[in-house]
Chain A
Amino acid sequence: MSMVEFKSVTKAFGSITVLKDVDLKVEAGEVVVLIGPSGSGKSTLLRCINALETIDGGDLVVDGISVKEGRSRVRMIRQEAGMVFQQFNLFPQMTALGNVSFGSRKVRGLGRREAEEQARELLAKVGLAERGHHYPSELSGGQQQRVAIARALAVKPKLMLFDEPTSALDPELRHEVLRVMQQLAEEGMTMIVVTHEMSFARKVGTRLIFMEGGKISVDGDPAQLLDHSENPRLRDFLQHVH
């Protein structure tokens, strides 16, 4: 069984069709990098997986559960699919430790002590062991994003979705986030990443998908596609992001 399976998924916002009959299978352990021009549907595709967007046609099955099965089943999908946002979206009224322990307490039902102990381990893993008592506003963008990754991991997902995780960061802060993502990939986490970081795609990605106009137009090995793609629009796109 695939971790994620899109079966001719269609999604429209009003009169604009953002996803057109998308078929896609992602297997456990894959690190899929999604690229494409803005408006090509890559973020929407990602957000359909954990049902932050509802699909209009076709079916989408995540770890055996369809996004169309209803609210409580959708919550189970969300617990299996952690998400990291471009704008971090940390809870501003909670410390880093509070943010990371929140999910395991309120979703997995752990007690405070157990949840905080686990949160400390996760913060250490993302290199922020010393920052647990800081509020998001007291952290740099790179640190906030690493806390956000730890927060998503605390619910123990099988799959991680990254929606342009480094786009809101200064260039010098990006590598610290990318390093944590690489480490996750090396541990075998299934990941789907919308990004413009081509070095990450090459080094960490097991698969590169190029989207345009709501469709997947190229799907293959990252290194090969980045160096010699047959698709002229992908080559053109890559020239602009490099």
Chain B
Amino acid sequence: MEFDWSVIADAMPTLLSGARVTILITLVGLAGGMILGVVAGTMRAYGGVILNAIALAYIELIRGTPMLVQVMFIYFALPMLANIRVDPLSAAITAIMINAGAYIAEIVRGALLSVNKGLREAGLALGLPTWKVLFYIIGPLAFRRMIPPLGNQFIISLKDTSLFIVIGVAELTRQGQDIMSTTFRAVEVWSAVAILYLVMTGVMTLVLRVTEKRMRIL
């Protein structure tokens, strides 16, 4: 079998533009997912019955259904249900956001609950309101413990963006598919695509490792 690697050189600009879209979806989606996750996770760990139930319903709904179905729902079903038109990119970002948010919520909850209960009591005993105890004492300690599982989730979310091929977002996998259908160079194209994913997840891993090292893990 012969390989023609020159195909890659021609395809690279297109693949890189796909990678840029992948990065955009991942970063914006994860930023939103972090906010959702911190809010829902804190509601789970420290909220009353009602807040806890709301967060639990969200987490179970999202974790219990495939992301592919979620994005199809946002893109195809929402316009019919509520007359909300979403462009593919927004649908993709929203899907990553709510999906990562549900998993991050559980990471946040676990980290918050793993912090020694005595520290919370010590903070409360000084006369602080609960939110200040969470913000100044429990939160910073929990954050350090979240980094390794967050790393997992970030990498999973980045790779999950490849699912958005189904709604026609011009992300990396979609661009690879397009080039494939004109060149039929499966080995070369998919190798290049895989390597680009590896580079992106590699950079992410590195950033997380540096962050982790810079904080004293307790």
Contacts from A to B (Cβ < 8 Å) = 50, 52, 71, 75-79, 81-83, 85, 87, 89-93, 102-103, 106-107, 148, 151-152, 155
* Chain B residues, Cβ within 8 Å of A90: 122
Smallest Cβ-Cβ distance to B116: which chain A residue:
A89
Stretch of B17-25, B27-35, B47-55, B129-137 contacting A (4+ beta carbons < 8 Å): B129-137
B115-159 CB contact bits vs A (8 Å, 1 = yes)? 010110111111111001000110011000000000000000000
**Residues B128 and A91 in contact, CB atoms below 8 Å apart:** no
Q: A85, A106, A151: which contacts B132 (Cβ < 8 A)?
A: A106
Bound Cα distance A148, B125 (Å): 12
A93 to B140, CA, bound (A): 8
Neighbour of A79 across the interface among B122, B127, B137, CB < 8 A: B127
Q: A107 contacts B128, CB within 8 Å? A: yes
Whether A82 touches B136, Cβ cut-off 8 Å, given contacts A89-B119, A91-B119, A92-B141, is no
Are A93's CB and B218's CB within 8 A? yes
The residue on A at minimum CB distance from B125 is A83
Q: A52-B121, A85-B121, A87-B118 are in contact. Are A103 and B126 (CB under 8 A)?
A: yes
Hey, which chain B residues are within 8 Å of A92, CB to CB? 119, 141, 218
Out of B122, B127, B128, name the residue touching A85 (CB < 8 Å).
B122
* From A77, A106, A155, contact of B136 by CB (8 A): A106
Interface residue? B216 (CB, 8 A): yes
Distance of A85 from chain B, by nearest CB (Å): 6
A-B contact pairs, 13 of them (CB 8 A): A75-B128, A75-B129, A85-B121, A85-B122, A87-B118, A89-B118, A89-B119, A89-B121, A106-B126, A107-B126, A107-B127, A107-B128, A152-B125
Interface residues of B (CB under 8 A from A): 116, 118-119, 121-129, 132, 136-137, 140-141, 216, 218
Within the complex, the shortest CB–CB distance from B116 to chain A, in Å, comes to 7
Q: Which 7 A-B pairs have the closest CB atoms?
A: A79-B127, A89-B122, A78-B127, A89-B118, A83-B125, A103-B126, A75-B127
* A-B contact sample (12 more), CB < 8 A, given A89-B121, A151-B126, A155-B126: A71-B129, A75-B127, A76-B127, A82-B126, A83-B122, A89-B118, A91-B122, A91-B137, A92-B119, A102-B126, A103-B126, A152-B126
Output the nearest chain B residue to A148 by Cβ-Cβ distance.
Answer: B122
Cβ-defined contact, B124 with A78, below 8 A: yes
Q: Which A residues are in CB contact (< 8 Å) with B216?
A: 93
The minimal Cβ–Cβ distance linking B194 to chain A, given in whole angstroms, is 40
Residues of A with C-beta under 8 A to B128: 75, 106-107
A78 and B132 alpha carbons, distance in the complex (Å): 14
> What's the Cα separation between A76 and B129 when bound, in Å?
10
Complex CA–CA separation, A91 to B218 (angstroms): 11
Please indicate the chain A residues that have their CB under 8 angstroms from the CB of B218 in the complex. Answer: 92-93
> Cα distance A77–B125 when bound, in Å?
9
Tell me the nearest residue of chain A to B130, going by C-beta. Answer: A71
User: Contact at A102–B127, with CB atoms within 8 Å?
Assistant: no
Instruction: Determine how close the nearest CB of chain B comes to the CB of A137; give it in whole angstroms.
Output: 8
Q: How far is the CA of A195 from the CA of B129 in the complex (A)?
A: 29
**In whole angstroms, how far apart are the Cα atoms of A76 and B126 in the complex?**
9
Q: Which residues of B contact A91 (CB under 8 A)?
A: 119, 122-123, 137
CB-defined contacts of A87 to chain B, threshold 8 Å: 118
